[in-house]
C-alpha cells in the first residue's frame, strides 16, 4: 500500500500546479475569444479590392495549373496573412467540400466578394472555364486598383498641403496672435481693421473652439445623411460631374468603369440583363444607374444599347459610335474594352494636368493666407514706426 504522503499533494505543490495551469488556461481563453471575434467579423468583412485582385489572380493560376478547387483554396488559406479573410476562405472551402458550388459558397459573404465576382464565378461554372474567367476578373480588378492608386496619389499632395495650411492657421490664431494682441493693448491706439479682425477671430476660436468642432461634425453628419437619400445622391452626383476642376475627371472615371465592367461581364457570358444589374450596382453614379435601367427596358423590347447611349447626354458620342460599331460586328465587348482603355489614358492625363495645376495654386494660396496674417499682425508695428519717425 502506498503511503499517504506519496498520494497526498501538499498545499504548496497544489498552488504551484495551479500557478502553472492558470497562464495556459488564460491564454487558451484569450485565443478562443479572439477566434470567435474574428469569425464574427468575417461574416461582414469588406476585403480591399487590391487584396481581392491578388486572391483572384492566384486562384486563376492554380486552377489553370490543374489543381482541384478545394486544394487551391487550402493553399491560399495557408498563405494569406489576413486573419479575417483566412476564415472566409476556410468557410468557403468547407461549403465546397460538402458538395455546394463555388458561387453559392461565396454568395454567403457579399461584403467580401462583390456581385461582379459572384456572377463571373457563376458564368465560369456554367461554361466550364472558371480559370479563364477568373483571370479576366483579376485583370479587371487590377485595372481598377491601378486607376484608383493614380487618382489617390495625385490627391495626396493637395490634401496634405491643405491640411498643413489649416493646422498652421489654427496655431497662428490660437497661440501666436494672442501674444501680439496683449502687446498691442499697451499701445493705447486704435488698431488697423485687418489686425482687429484677426484678433477678434482668434478670441472667438479660443472661446468657442468646441462649438466650431461640433458645427463641423454636424455638417459632415448632415451631409452623410442627406447624400444617403435618393435625392441627395442625385444632387451630389450631378454636382460632382459638373464640378469646375475635378468634374471632368469624375466623369471619365465613371465612363471607364461602366465600359470595362460591361465588357468583362458580356465577354464572360453573363446574360445582358444581369450584366446591367451588376454594372448599375458597381457604378456608384446615379446617371449610370438610370442609363442601365433604360437600357434594360429598351433591350427587353428588342432595341439596341447604342440607341439608349445616343439619347443620354451623360455618354459622349464616341462611346455611342464604338458600341454601335461593336453591335454591327458582333464585338461589343472588344469595342468597350478599347473605350475603357482610352478613358484610362485620358484619366491619367487629366490627373497629371491637375497635379501640375494644383501645385502653383496651393503655393499662391498658402502665400496669401500666411502672408496676409503676418502682414496684418505687423501693420500696427509699421504704423508705430512711422509715427515715431514723424515725431523725430
For CA atoms 51, 153, 280, 260, the dihedral sign is negative
Does position 7 have pLDDT exceeding 90, yes or no? Answer: no
pLDDT, residue 388, reads 46
| CA–CA distances in Å: residue 192 to residues 176, 196, 379, 384, 388 | 18, 6, 7, 11, 17
Retrieve residue 281's grid coordinates: 450596382
Does position 341 have pLDDT exceeding 80, yes or no? Answer: yes
| CA–CA distances in Å: residue 112 to residues 72, 284, 350 | 18, 18, 32
pLDDT, residue 356, reads 81
Does position 11 have pLDDT exceeding 60, yes or no? Answer: no
Does position 1 have pLDDT exceeding 80, yes or no? Answer: no
Segment 277-283 long-range contacts (CB within 8 Å, at least 24 positions apart): 277/115, 278/115, 278/116, 278/119, 281/115, 282/114, 282/115, 282/116, 282/257, 283/254, 283/257, 283/258
Distance (Å, rounded) from C-alpha 197 to C-alpha 183? 16
Candidates 3.40.190.10, 1.10.287.470, 1.10.1030.10, 1.20.81.30; CATH matching 247-354: 1.20.81.30
Mean pLDDT value across residues 359-383: 84
pLDDT, residue 185, reads 79
Does position 343 have pLDDT exceeding 60, yes or no? Answer: yes
The pLDDT-based confidence of 383 (bands split at 50, 70, 90) is confident
The pLDDT-based confidence of 150 (bands split at 50, 70, 90) is confident
Does position 392 have pLDDT exceeding 80, yes or no? Answer: no
Digit-coded pLDDT (tens) for 187-216: 666 788 888 898 888 888 888 888 888 999
pLDDT, residue 106, reads 92
The pLDDT-based confidence of 6 (bands split at 50, 70, 90) is very low
Does position 2 have pLDDT exceeding 70, yes or no? Answer: no
Does position 340 have pLDDT exceeding 80, yes or no? Answer: yes
| CA–CA distances in Å: residue 289 to residues 110, 235, 238, 310 | 20, 14, 13, 16
- Tell me the three state secondary structure of residue 358: helix
Retrieve residue 322's grid coordinates: 464604338
Retrieve residue 301's grid coordinates: 423590347
The pLDDT-based confidence of 3 (bands split at 50, 70, 90) is very low
Does position 129 have pLDDT exceeding 60, yes or no? Answer: yes
Question: Looking at domain 49-113, what is its CATH homologous superfamily?
Answer: Type II secretion system (T2SS), domain F (1.20.81.30)
pLDDT, residue 24, reads 64
Count CA atoms within 13 Å of residue 128 on its CB side.
0
Does position 321 have pLDDT exceeding 50, yes or no? Answer: yes
Angle at which helices 49-64 and 69-79 cross, to 10°: 140
Retrieve residue 209's grid coordinates: 473652439
Establish whether domains 49-113 and 247-354 are of one fold: yes
Mean pLDDT value across residues 33-60: 86
The pLDDT-based confidence of 164 (bands split at 50, 70, 90) is confident
Cβ neighbors of 203 (< 8 A, separation 6 or more) are 178, 181
Domain ranges of the chain: 49-113, 161-241+356-391, 247-354
Digit-coded pLDDT (tens) for 55-107: 999 999 999 999 999 999 999 999 888 888 999 999 999 999 998 999 999 99
Digit-coded pLDDT (tens) for 228-255: 898 999 999 999 998 887 888 889 999 9
Does position 17 have pLDDT exceeding 80, yes or no? Answer: no
Percent of the chain with pLDDT over 70: 91
Does position 297 have pLDDT exceeding 90, yes or no? Answer: yes
| DSSP secondary structure of 21-57 | HHHHHHHHHHHHHHHHHHHHHHTT----HHHHHHHHH
| CA–CA distances in Å: residue 267 to residues 137, 254, 262, 299, 336 | 11, 20, 9, 18, 10
Amino acid at each position: 500500500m502506498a503511503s499517504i504522503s506519496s498520494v497526498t499533494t501538499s498545499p504548496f505543490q497544489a498552488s504551484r500546479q495551479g500557478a502553472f495551469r492558470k497562464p495556459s488556461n488564460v491564454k487558451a481563453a484569450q485565443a478562443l475569444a479572439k477566434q470567435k471575434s474574428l469569425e464574427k467579423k468575417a461574416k461582414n468583412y469588406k476585403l480591399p479590392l487590391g487584396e481581392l485582385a491578388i486572391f483572384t489572380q492566384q486562384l486563376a493560376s492554380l486552377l489553370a495549373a490543374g489543381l482541384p478547387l478545394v486544394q487551391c483554396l487550402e493553399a491560399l488559406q495557408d498563405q494569406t496573412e489576413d486573419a479575417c479573410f483566412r476564415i472566409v476562405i476556410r468557410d468557403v472551402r468547407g461549403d465546397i467540400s460538402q458538395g455546394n458550388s463555388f458561387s453559392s459558397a461565396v454568395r454567403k459573404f457579399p461584403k467580401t466578394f462583390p456581385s461582379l465576382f459572384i456572377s463571373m464565378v457563376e458564368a465560369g461554372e456554367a461554361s466550364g472555364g472558371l480559370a479563364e474567367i477568373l483571370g479576366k476578373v483579376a485583370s479587371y480588378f487590377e485595372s481598377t486598383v491601378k486607376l484608383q492608386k493614380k487618382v489617390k496619389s495625385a490627391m495626396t499632395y493637395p490634401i496634405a498641403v491643405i491640411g498643413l495650411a489649416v493646422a498652421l492657421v489654427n496655431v497662428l490664431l490660437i497661440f501666436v496672435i494672442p501674444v501680439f494682441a496683449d502687446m498691442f493693448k499697451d499701445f493705447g491706439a486704435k488698431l488697423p481693421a485687418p489686425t482687429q479682425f484677426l484678433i477678434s477671430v482668434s478670441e472667438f476660436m479660443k472661446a468657442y473652439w468646441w462649438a466650431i468642432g461640433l458645427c463641423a461634425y454636424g455638417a459632415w453628419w448632415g451631409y452623410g445623411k442627406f447624400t444617403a437619400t435618393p435625392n441627395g445622391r442625385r444632387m451630389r452626383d450631378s454636382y460632382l460631374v459638373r464640378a469646375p476642376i475635378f468634374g471632368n475627371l469624375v466623369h471619365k472615371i465613371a465612363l471607364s468603369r461602366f465600359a470595362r465592367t460591361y465588357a468583362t461581364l458580356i465577354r464572360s457570358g453573363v446574360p445582358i440583363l444581369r450584366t446591367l444589374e451588376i454594372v448599375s450596382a458597381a457604378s456608384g453614379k446615379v446617371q449610370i444607374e438610370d442609363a442601365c435601367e433604360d437600357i434594360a427596358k429598351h433591350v427587353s423590347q428588342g432595341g439596341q444599347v447604342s440607341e439608349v447611349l445616343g439619347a443620354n447626354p451623360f455618354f459622349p458620342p464616341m462611346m455611342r459610335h464604338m458600341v454601335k460599331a461593336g453591335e454591327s460586328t458582333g464585338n461589343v465587348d472588344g469595342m468597350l474594352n478599347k473605350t475603357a482603355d482610352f478613358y484610362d489614358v485620358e484619366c491619367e492625363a487629366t490627373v497629371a494636368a491637375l497635379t501640375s495645376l494644383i501645385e502653383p495654386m496651393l503655393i499662391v494660396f498658402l502665400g496669401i493666407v500666411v502672408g496676409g496674417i503676418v502682414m496684418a499682425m505687423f501693420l500696427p508695428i509699421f504704423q508705430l514706426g512711422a509715427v515715431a519717425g514723424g515725431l523725430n
